[in-house]
Amino acid sequence: MAIFRQLGDRRSEAQTLTHLGFALQEVGRFDEAIDAHTQAADIFRGLGDRRSEGMALTGLGITHREMGRFGEAIDAYTQAVAICRELGDRHLEAQTLTNLGVVQRRVRRFDEATDAHTQAATIFRELGDHRLESIAQNHLLKDRRWWRWRTWHDRVRRHRAFHITDLRDLSDTLR
């Protein structure tokens, strides 16, 4: 990387930072991975290389997700999706939407997760990528299962609260 800096080769420096970010992530050095992906995204943005910037942002999102920083992961993925749409890169858009949906489900934003996975599955189907379409569909099923569980759990909680109130009223009446 130092050689690329000395040569003034910003593109190669940013590409190296992106690869370094993924390698650091693999060995659990997440803070350093975030720094590498952030630097790469900044350099690519400065160069006007939107596709590489989007890929660096996706790497940043993955690293944030691995660290449990879900809000920051959502921000990075959302920026990456916007870049993919701007460039018309439907395949990368669908992959990033899949990642975004996983994190949204994790923070219980089920409607948004379902929307992201539905969009991803549709794009993969249109592109003829049946393997990734099935992965997006699997995530969609998980979103719906979590949605049903949450809905059931909320009904049970309301039901219990209602009956607790009834029991308190009855207890007050009997006193």
pLDDT tens digit sequence for 130-162? 999 999 999 999 988 866 655 545 555 655 655
Annotated domain spans of the chain: 2-174
| Interhelix angle 130-174/90-106, nearest 10 degrees | 20
Q: How confident is the model at residue 87 (pLDDT cuts 50, 70, 90)?
A: very high
pTM metric for this prediction: 0.79
pLDDT of residue 63: 96
Helix (H) or strand (E) holding 136: helix 130-174
CATH class (in words) of the domain with range 2-174: mainly alpha
pLDDT of residue 26: 93
